[in-house]
Chain A
């Protein structure tokens, strides 16, 4: 063999070795559920809560579990972002979590499709739990994908309308609006000008006004995101164009995109005390149930009213519904202690006392049908609105999909361009976005 040939062979071998090494490092998702759930063991549990009160609440929940399962200890790791969770689920290893909770329901489709989370169906069957009898359908919709129930709901979020009771009284408005046309009038009535800005804005409709995203508005129009073949339906289902047209009209009636955008820049942080609803800069807010506790903690000086979001004028019978989302809990498929992990998941997601206590501590909506009706719930009276929304038969959610949240952002791009006036032909914009969503999904399937 000549020197040149030998060098080439060595280079080729090195390349091949590196390529093989790269392949080997991709990990595998071997499903193992042979562990004894009664054996002495320690589980690693990752969650994303970070505020001291929340961390304390989760610790209390874990202590309740450990008291009921003396053989299982739980090592709790807080403040885990979804990026870290994604990496841990990919990598596995001795320090990887056995049980993971995530705030991003948008990633469930990918976690289920790739089997990063174990399918919980065999565990549910083994424990004699019928998820359809424990959870409402929207909650199951965002915790499963393509028949794979790879996660379960751990408390939920219900979205509704917050309003400033004092501002309502001052404007002579007796009750929260039930239809979007009533809402439009009320938002204008509550708006007070100050120079070329606002003393008080009735409602901030812009898509970047914190929770006012398309996925939170559009459930009131009862949308179908995907058709039976799994193709994007956003250009065919009029719910989307009707919702976007309503929102754009509202933007124009309240002063126009530029003026609203400038006013939005005077708002404080969504999670801080200076949130515009707390400060009285906006009189109404589309938000989740957590806002009530946050507003009270911020010491707002006005009465806080809560109500479901309005519905289109021709769907008044559906009033009371809303968008549902929440935290999800799953078992990493790389875990070697899946039966023990299931004991923790089962306890946290289906034990009524545990769910009620955790809901009281975290101030989120309970996720099980039984807990929603529990007399043990200790929330402020205004919180009942969100418990009712969570139980409304027409409340809905965004379906899990294999592209994670990409289809949401593609749709949101259309909304952003339309509300700012850059996109004139909404239908053409929706058709293009639908093609993009289909392309993205086809790429990943």
Chain B
């Protein structure tokens, strides 16, 4: 084979590879690389979306970290939600999945009951929860009061607004429950039988048989949960708008976070900076912080794995 033939064969092979890769390459460039590079670019620009961008060095960065009043509350809330909401969702998803796999009769009914709330659109689900947890008229507080308890004011109290959002997230646990059920049903039965012969208790069976077998699924639930929670936007915004009673009438403006910035999240802050304050530069900085945090969390979880995945998994 001549050198020329070899070269043209290699070129054809390279072109074929590129052709197969092109859908991904186009998607990657349009939906990831371009937005990311643009965001970095705009984070150093003074830009309001109308006038041409103007280089302003580190002004946007110093403004966001030192002067933008919504950034630090949003960051604290987002971290709180990542820690508490993700933990609760994984724990409840796994718990309910375990319970349903143990149920002998009516499994289908329970599966449907727990899965249905997940199908509710986020806005409708949030509106229902604001109604249910309404401190004055909601059935939850009426029930709590009827048994002599002093109920919280949920979405209108900064101390209770995030727990209320967590309850809403737990209510829509259906997706995780289904994934965990599939994983739990895949655990080899002989391992349980062996553990039972060895006299292992229910907890020991869970700890030493169930958990190691489903650990990749737990890791998957945690990583996707962290990413989804870092993008948390609709539910806190709808809850804040409805609970505050400020729907943004003539001459009014609604800034997210009610009450007292307690439901403010980083994605909402990006919207506020970019589309309410017309400051794309600051919005780009917050977006990059969010991106860095998501990357850091994900790589930390994937590298350390928290002992969740054994070698060879």
Contacts and interface: CB of A to CB of B under 8 A. Distances in A.
A211 B249 contact: yes
A404 interface: yes
B250 A288 contact: yes
Interface string B62-76: 010001010000000
Contacts, number: 147
Contacts of A413: 69
Interface residues of A, number: 65
Interface in A386-410: 397-398, 403-406, 408-410
Interface residues on B, range: 35 or more
Tell me what chain B mostly uses at the interface: helix, strand, loop, or mixed. Answer: loop
Contacts of A436: 67, 69
Interface in A233-285: 261-267, 269-271
Interface in A402-443: 403-406, 408-410, 413, 416-417, 422, 436, 439-440, 443
A90 interface: yes
Contacts of A83: 275
Given A110-B278, A116-B50, A439-B67, A261 B251 contact: no
B156 to A, nearest CB: 6
A403 B156 CA distance: 28
Given A270-B245, A288-B250, A444-B278, A265 B153 contact: yes
A443 B279 contact: yes
Given A15-B37, A270-B247, A327-B250, A265 B255 contact: no
A110 B277 CA distance: 9
Contacts of B42: 22
A86 interface: yes
Contact of A28 (B52, B59, B278): B52
Contact of A404 (B69, B136, B278): B278
A334 to B, nearest CB: 10
Nearest to A397: B251
Given A21-B34, A114-B50, A209-B245, A106 B153 contact: no
A142 B250 CA distance: 12
Contact of B37 (A22, A197, A208): A22
Contacts of B134: 265-266
Given A90-B50, A106-B251, A265-B134, A444 B69 contact: no
A311 interface: no
Contacts of A266: 134, 136-137
B38 A103 contact: no
A356 to B, nearest CB: 20
Interface in B30-70: 33-34, 37-38, 41-42, 47-53, 59, 63, 67, 69
B278 A409 contact: no
A-B interface, 8 closest residue pairs, ranked by CB to CB distance from nearest: A405-B253, A114-B50, A325-B251, A266-B136, A265-B136, A22-B38, A90-B49, A409-B255
Interface of B: 33-34, 37-38, 41-42, 47-53, 59, 63, 67, 69, 134-137, 153, 156, 243-253, 255, 258-260, 275-279, 282
